[in-house]
Amino acid sequence: MGKAVFTSDEHLYLQVADGIEKMIAGDVLRIGDKLPSVRVLSEEYGISMGTAFQAYYHLEGKGLIESRPKSGYYVRFTHRRFPAVPQMIRHEPVPAEVTVQEMIKQVLHRITAEDMTNFALAAPAIELLPTAKLNKSVVHALRNGKDHCIGYEDTQGNPELRKQIAKLAFNWGGRIAPDEVVVTSGCMEAIGLSLRAVTVPGDTVAVESPAYFGIYQIIECLGLKVVEIPSDPETGPELASLEKAIDKLGIRAVILVPNFNNPAGSCMPDENKKRLVEIIQQHQIPLIEDDIYGELYFGRHRPKTCKYYDTQGLLIHCSSLSKSLAPGYRIGWILPGRFLDKVSALKQMYTISSPTLTQVAVAHFLSIGRYEYHLKNLRKALHTQSLRYIQGILQHFPDDTRISRPQGGFVLWVELNAAIDTYELCTEALKHHISIAPGRIFSIGSNYSNYLRIGYGSPWNEKVESGLKTLGSIIRKMVARSAIK
Amino acid sequence: MGKAVFTSDEHLYLQVADGIEKMIAGDVLRIGDKLPSVRVLSEEYGISMGTAFQAYYHLEGKGLIESRPKSGYYVRFTHRRFPAVPQMIRHEPVPAEVTVQEMIKQVLHRITAEDMTNFALAAPAIELLPTAKLNKSVVHALRNGKDHCIGYEDTQGNPELRKQIAKLAFNWGGRIAPDEVVVTSGCMEAIGLSLRAVTVPGDTVAVESPAYFGIYQIIECLGLKVVEIPSDPETGPELASLEKAIDKLGIRAVILVPNFNNPAGSCMPDENKKRLVEIIQQHQIPLIEDDIYGELYFGRHRPKTCKYYDTQGLLIHCSSLSKSLAPGYRIGWILPGRFLDKVSALKQMYTISSPTLTQVAVAHFLSIGRYEYHLKNLRKALHTQSLRYIQGILQHFPDDTRISRPQGGFVLWVELNAAIDTYELCTEALKHHISIAPGRIFSIGSNYSNYLRIGYGSPWNEKVESGLKTLGSIIRKMVARSAIK
């Protein structure tokens, strides 16, 4: 290992750790290889012993290396051992009436029960959230908010909160004025209001496949039809398919999760985002972008949004703090572009305004820099958890299992042997107090019947590992049974 | 004045005051009559001097008597001097497409501006609300709520809050289980979800006329048609007209404010409520009852609800705490009867759940009896304010003005000379920093063009009186101008 030149203000230990991680990924260091001692590492890199130790500790947290008592550190896992990613399912885009799935109800039914090992949830464990600091902001709001936050808030949302949300847009290069923000009750209200603003019942909406089941539900509820666009598990929706659907099927709106799609984990490359915006501008079709996972990236930079490339106000950007700060605060927002008046009017009609207190509290929390600080920790924790869960699945599931490689967000998209019906797996797992989300709820067709979504929002522990082990053994039994048939 | 027998545990002074009020109303005591001295009153009624003083103080607060320095108390106002109530407008119920009125936008535009004398608002002044006590409940919730209220709440609402809401139903004789409650983001979300649960776009809904403009807006927004049922300013909707409309026009749902309708102030007598429920049960048409003002009664008893008479689960009861406790907390609810599953599913789809913190805080506030205590004070304040405002209008507006006589709620419905267009009055008044709600926004026809709604949620003071005086002089000028034409 040669000496490295450290270029940025980033924590030294992270740079050292990244260097080692790259060597593991590049097969320079292989599984079982012994790593230099902490002392040698500190000398080689010209860093303190403490920093060297921190770097190893970090890699150990990610499950990449392990310490063996009285022996030192060894490589435990390489990215080359990552399983194959799930395959894209191709199908002809056909408009269809969505039907609400009884399945979703069953999956959600006991989702918050305490005795569950919950892989069905796509949300952070409460212990990863800055509860105490947020409480302080609530007390601050009670003391300092206008009328102690008891009165109606502005329909578009608390002005200070809108300012903070506008500032968050800097992170992806957005230049948004506070007046261009509409605060909502979480991201689902944002998506619902956006869809209502740009469609009328009977219209057809294009959705990537797989997609979050809540999006199908609301589309059905609004009397809209849906066209599913095949989506690559790594790069997102196939733009050629989208264009074909637009030409053929009279699409009135497109709705996508460009960054860390739920469930596939895909992240559209910048050039795809740019091209997508060109397509929707060419056809003057509004694009609703759900960016709820955008801040939860594992790489060095926040991915851009489609909104960034929009020059015509056709982009309706939706997001929230439910996945990153406080699910129960129900704070989301819309940057509605040219549909601002329509969206504001709908917000006023449906709920008059969002609650004042939580808005003022969160505005304070953001304004003192607490959110950025918290996000740094949360990203690190989620990245580590994603790697741990992948390793766990790899260890306990059959060898032909394929797993997505998300670079952000909360979920793994897992493809099993084609003989497995994951809804059956889900039913069986519930008997063992384990919940998963079966693949079929992420599409309106009968696609993804051998897929499942595993949320890794909860820190890795024995209960989690034991849950994956149990799932693995159920799957093996199901495979064996199917072989007999 | 003869000795009275006091029968209940109610405050003595109130009973004495009520007795005097009745004598004023019955013309036994007339305007200008001198009342017995405090000493004489205490002897006549066998009460303490302090109680006698309190009784006069109470009547003075209501504007019924006045104290003249060094002289004693005199009758100042009698109920016989109440102006005539506004007239019912009769029209043939015809279904029509609602159009959203630009007018509403103008009225709402500057509704919270600080420099306004705001008669357009139908809400309590913040100073009438128990801010400090509610803050304590928020802090209690932060400390004691599960996960400090940062996590998702149950879709149907916080269980303890639902229990408290079920208990509130006792007040009108309701027997509701906590599981039959769905918590919403204020009453408008309650009404929106209810309408969605029982209609599809294109359906026709019956509404009383006049009605709150927000109801017309949401009906339009959902692609529904509306039939207006003529409504008496004192007893509410004409049931014969409703029956006719049901027979002729294929009504799919009825939506009403049976208690203290906004803007008319009407309160349906019990026998009308009972008959109404018979009608809707006979035709199996869901009735959405907006009872948001039900707890704000001025009489001795809370009026019943239509839900009380329902035996078939056809009643969808909507209410909230926005008008009585904390507008900015956005806490409302639905008792959806047989439509519980549908309503819960819609709630989950549109917003997943309501914010946790405000629900837990309000549940605590209600559970310790604070809400009932607060309501007693609020009712008294509003009753006093209603009388004061009526007297002010009587004094400053032309003699042919008619005013409603609400027995609860926040608003007066005022009918002016037929030559006056109150939208013009509204525009003119805004130049004087006074806001009113013009009659036309409470109907989809061109009805009520010479009506206006005056909110009396703010305590009586010089600014209020001066506002009414200015309005009066604008009206007089408009009348004079119309006479010249």
pLDDT tens per residue, range B41-60:
888 888 888 888 888 888 88
Cβ separation of A355 and B185 shorter than 8 Å? Answer: yes
Report residue B451: phi and psi, to 5°.
-110, 155
Contact A150, A356 (CB under 8 A): yes
Instruction: Find the residue in B nearest to A157 (Cα).
Output: B328
Question: What helix, strand, coil percent values describe chain A, rounded to 5?
Answer: 45, 15, 40
User: Closest Cα of chain A to B312: distance in Å?
Assistant: 26
- Decide if pLDDT at A419 tops 80: yes
- Decide if pLDDT at A101 tops 80: no
Q: Residue B403 has what pLDDT? A: 95
- Decide if pLDDT at A50 tops 60: yes
Residues of B in contact with A321 (CB under 8 A): none
Q: What architecture is the B147-369 domain classified under in CATH?
A: 3-Layer(aba) Sandwich (3.40)
Using CB atoms and an 8 Å cut-off, which of residues 360-389 of chain A contact chain B? none
Q: Residue A99 has what pLDDT? A: 44
Residues of A in contact with B341 (CB under 8 A): none
The ipTM, to two decimals, is 0.84
- Tell me, yes or no, if B356 comes closer than 8 A to chain A by beta carbon: yes
Cβ separation of A186 and B351 shorter than 8 Å? Answer: yes
- Per DSSP, the three-state class of B96 is strand
Cβ separation of A188 and B352 shorter than 8 Å? Answer: yes
CA–CA gap between residue B118 and residue A3 (Å, rounded): 72
Band of the pLDDT at B112, cuts 50, 70, 90?
A: low
- Decide if pLDDT at A10 tops 90: no
Taking domain A12-81, whether its CATH number is 3.50.50.60 is answered by no
Higher pLDDT, B319 or A84: B319
Strand partners, A208: A229
Its pTM stands at: 0.85
- Decide if pLDDT at B100 tops 70: no
E strands, A321-361, are: 332-335
Mean pLDDT, rounded, for B80-103 = 64
For the ranges A1-10, B4-13, B211-220, B461-470, the maximum mean pLDDT occurs at B461-470
Min mean pLDDT across A446-450, A452-456, B24-28, B274-278 is at B24-28
Q: Residue A91 has what pLDDT? A: 66
Cβ separation of A354 and B185 shorter than 8 Å? Answer: yes
Residues of B in contact with A135 (CB under 8 A): 142, 148
Taking domain B96-127+373-484, whether its CATH number is 3.90.1150.10 is answered by yes
Using CB atoms and an 8 Å cut-off, which of residues 248-267 of chain B contact chain A? none
Residues of B in contact with A214 (CB under 8 A): 349, 352
Q: Please name which of A68, A65, A145, A110 lies closest in space to residue A431, comparing C-alpha atoms.
A: A110
Higher pLDDT, A116 or A293: A293
User: Closest Cα of chain B to A349: distance in Å?
Assistant: 6
Min mean pLDDT across A18-22, A218-222, B240-244 is at A18-22
Query: Tokens at residue B160, please?
Result: 């303890």
Band of the pLDDT at B99, cuts 50, 70, 90?
A: very low
For the ranges A72-76, B56-60, B82-86, B250-254, the maximum mean pLDDT occurs at B250-254
Q: Residue B458 has what pLDDT? A: 95
Q: Residue B13 has what pLDDT? A: 87
Q: Residue B10 has what pLDDT? A: 58
Instruction: Find the residue in A nearest to B146 (Cα).
Output: A126
Cβ separation of A330 and B350 shorter than 8 Å? Answer: no
Of residues B139, B186, B326, nearest to A352 (C-beta): B186
Cβ separation of A221 and B149 shorter than 8 Å? Answer: no
- Decide if pLDDT at A47 tops 90: no
Q: Residue B109 has what pLDDT? A: 65
- Tell me, yes or no, if A221 comes closer than 8 A to chain B by beta carbon: yes
Of residues B112, B129, B329, nearest to A357 (C-beta): B329
What is the DSSP pairing of strand A332-335 with strand A315-320? antiparallel
User: Closest Cα of chain A to B350: distance in Å?
Assistant: 6
pLDDT in tens, B400-430: 999 999 999 999 999 999 999 998 999 899 9
Mean pLDDT, rounded, for B178-198 = 97
Cβ separation of A329 and B353 shorter than 8 Å? Answer: no
Q: Residue A169 has what pLDDT? A: 95
Higher pLDDT, A14 or A130: A130
Residues of B in contact with A441 (CB under 8 A): none
Torsion angle (degrees, nearest 10) of CA B404, B405, B406, B411: 40
Higher pLDDT, A32 or A172: A172
Band of the pLDDT at B95, cuts 50, 70, 90?
A: low
- Tell me, yes or no, if A86 comes closer than 8 A to chain B by beta carbon: no
DSSP letters along B58-73, please? HHHHTTSEEEETTTEE
Min mean pLDDT across A3-12, A189-198, A258-267, A419-428 is at A3-12
Band of the pLDDT at A286, cuts 50, 70, 90?
A: very high
Band of the pLDDT at A175, cuts 50, 70, 90?
A: very high
Contact B335, B307 (CB under 8 A): yes
- Tell me, yes or no, if B148 comes closer than 8 A to chain A by beta carbon: yes
pLDDT in tens, B325-372: 999 999 999 999 999 999 999 999 998 899 999 999 999 999 999 999
Band of the pLDDT at B63, cuts 50, 70, 90?
A: confident
Q: Please name which of A222, A232, A218 lies closest in space to residue A188, comparing C-alpha atoms.
A: A218
User: How high does pLDDT run on average in chain B?
Assistant: 90
Tell how far CA A412 is from the center of its chain: 10
Residues of B in contact with A348 (CB under 8 A): 108
Q: Residue A65 has what pLDDT? A: 87
- Tell me, yes or no, if A186 comes closer than 8 A to chain B by beta carbon: yes
Instruction: Find the residue in A nearest to B139 (Cα).
Output: A139
Give how far Cα A319 sits from Cα of A97, A121, A288, A331, A451, Å: 27, 18, 11, 9, 27
The residue written with tokens 């009643």 in the block is B315
Residues of A in contact with B212 (CB under 8 A): none
Band of the pLDDT at B139, cuts 50, 70, 90?
A: very high
pLDDT in tens, A445-485: 778 999 999 999 999 999 999 999 999 999 999 999 988 76
Cβ separation of B352 and A330 shorter than 8 Å? Answer: yes
- Decide if pLDDT at A33 tops 70: yes
Nearest-Å Rg of the Cα atoms of chain A is: 23
CATH for the A142-371 domain, from 3.30.300.340, 3.40.50.720, 3.40.640.10, 2.60.40.1930: 3.40.640.10
CATH 1.10.10.10: which residues of chain A? 12-81
Q: Residue A76 has what pLDDT? A: 82
CA–CA gap between residue B9 and residue A37 (Å, rounded): 84
Cβ separation of B330 and A352 shorter than 8 Å? Answer: yes
Torsion angle (degrees, nearest 10) of CA A139, A140, A146, A152: -50
Cβ separation of A355 and B139 shorter than 8 Å? Answer: no
User: How high does pLDDT run on average in chain A?
Assistant: 90
Residues of A in contact with B218 (CB under 8 A): 349-350
CA–CA gap between residue B142 and residue B144 (Å, rounded): 6
Q: Residue B1 has what pLDDT? A: 45
CATH 3.90.1150.10: which residues of chain B? 96-127+373-484
Return contacts of A105-112, CB within 8 angstroms, 24+ apart. Answer: A106/A426, A106/A427, A107/A426, A107/A435, A107/A437, A107/A438, A107/A441, A108/B348, A110/A430, A110/A435, A111/A435, A112/B152, A112/B154
Of residues B149, B188, B358, nearest to A355 (C-beta): B358
- Decide if pLDDT at A1 tops 60: no
Instruction: Find the residue in A nearest to B330 (Cα).
Output: A355
Cβ separation of B328 and A356 shorter than 8 Å? Answer: yes
Report residue B452: phi and psi, to 5°.
-145, 155
- Decide if pLDDT at B26 tops 80: no
Q: Mutate one of B152, B290, B292, B359 to test the A interface: name it (highest A CB count within 10 A).
A: B152
Cβ separation of A131 and B153 shorter than 8 Å? Answer: no
